[in-house]
Structure 1
Amino acid sequence: MNEEQLQTVATRIVEIIDYAKKHLAHDGSGHGFDHAQRVAHLAQKILLNTKETVDATVVLAACYLHDTIDDKVVADVEGATEDLREFLETQGLSSDQVLEILFIIDNLSFSKQYFGNSLELPLSGQIVQDADRLEALGAMGLMRTAYFGGYSGHPLYDPAIKPKTFTSKAEYRQGTTVINHVYEKLFLLVDMMNTAYGKEEGQRRKAFMEDFLKEFYQEWEI
């Protein structure tokens, strides 16, 4: 797939992009439309490096929509999911495409995979998953982690609170500290990447984060 083909797909899903923009406009958790847009752009990079045939419409639609039904963003996940399903059915997509988009979104998250509740994703979903996880790494990942930590009332750092290995989603959602989240989740994502691009870019972003942490600890001790 080339850039011209991707641009054609992006043009076809303008209403889907607008739906995401509308539903994520007031998010304060770091999962707003700007995040969805960067995930879509990362997925495009992965698509350009993918030799296998994959439905780019499904990939990009899932990228833009994946947080519109996330429980960190909406109070009524079931209702939001039904609204999204009804909307997708008006977009000229096949029933298979609608089902695949919803399946990807439902099985995308770290917590669902980590606690053994996700189903295996098709290649389209693996691309969306890698793009979303890359957004949790590097400079952007650190900024979003701090932003979400403040939003959730988590302390920035406490040397007495060590990173945890969580045993349930409820425990994981309680969190510990912003800095601990890097170890409790973000660094784990690197080894969970599916695609060659995701693995390489994940390692690059992890290296940046490790350098940042060295500087952070040095400045904290001062």
Structure 2
Amino acid sequence: MEGSHDWHHIERVLQNARIIQQKEGGDLLTIELSALLHDIADHKYHNNDFELGSKVAKEIVLEHYQDEHLANSIEKIVRAVSFKGALVEDSEITLEGKIVRDADRLDAIGAIGIARAFAYGGSKNRPLFDRSIHPILHKTKESYSAGKSHTINHFFEKLLLLTDRMETQTAKEIAQERQHFMLSFLNQYFKEEGFSIEGSAFDLSDFHTSE
């Protein structure tokens, strides 16, 4: 597995989830198991099968815990965690699900999020940036998952949108610093490219941070 979705990513999501749970509450076992299983049979690596991961997660929990309620809860969380497009609303989910979804999204932003974006883009032989290909705000999970754009577009199509979509107060607070770092990085990137973003499809003025 390439570096953006490896075991280290799982460990960081688990750590984020524990930090959020300490302040927000929720059933710790459900949160920990969901964090550990949230990327199993990820659709990006399984022909965009959006149902496989949640099914496998449920089977694993049933095998090891023989608890139907726990397995069903984790199945629903794993199905709901992934981002499915800028214009696709996040599904309603339990507190435990919100915590895991926020924990995963925190690992998609900031310095680590930048590193992961370029690691994944490199694994798919995608260019760093192409000013002629503008970001798309996808309306369906199918169009989002089928996208094969340059890596900088990924910031506009997903990463810069995540701070405003955090659902727990703890994650919202953590996300602010990471959002600020991404904006600083992008401003420097475009400066080094010699590309003026003002008024362009890559204008950063619509994105903000409370810092």
TM class, shorter-length: 0.7 to 0.9
CA deviation map 1:94-133 (0-9, x unaligned): 21111111110011111078424x5311000000000000
Tell me the secondary structure at the aligned position of residue 84 of structure 2. Answer: helix
Q: List, as ranges, runs of 4+ consecutive aligned residues in structure 1 with deviation greater than 6 Å.
A: none
Give structure 1 stretches of 5+ with no counterpart: 1-26
- Output aligned runs, 1:68-217, within 5 Å: 68-75=40-47, 81-92=54-65, 94-111=67-84, 114-116=87-89, 119-173=91-145, 174-217=147-190
In 1, Cα distance between the equivalents of 2:93 and 2:86?
A: 10
Shift of 1:158: 1.2
Tell me the secondary structure at the aligned position of residue 159 of structure 1. Answer: coil
Give structure 2 stretches of 5+ with no counterpart: 196-211
In 2, Cα distance between the equivalents of 1:163 and 1:212?
A: 18
In 2, Cα distance between the equivalents of 1:157 and 1:113?
A: 20
Percentage of pairs with the same residue: 33
Q: 1:81 to 1:131 in 2, by over 3 A?
A: closer
In 2, Cα distance between the equivalents of 1:161 and 1:67?
A: 29
Q: 1:160 to 1:190 in 2, by over 3 A?
A: same
Q: C-alpha root-mean-square deviation of aligned residues, in Å?
A: 2.2
In 1, Cα distance between the equivalents of 2:39 and 2:186?
A: 28
Q: 1:138 to 1:83 in 2, by over 3 A?
A: closer
In 2, Cα distance between the equivalents of 1:166 and 1:79?
A: 22
Shift of 1:182: 0.5
Length-normalised TM-score, structure 1: 0.79
CA deviation map 1:139-179 (0-9, x unaligned): 00001111111122321101222222223323222142111
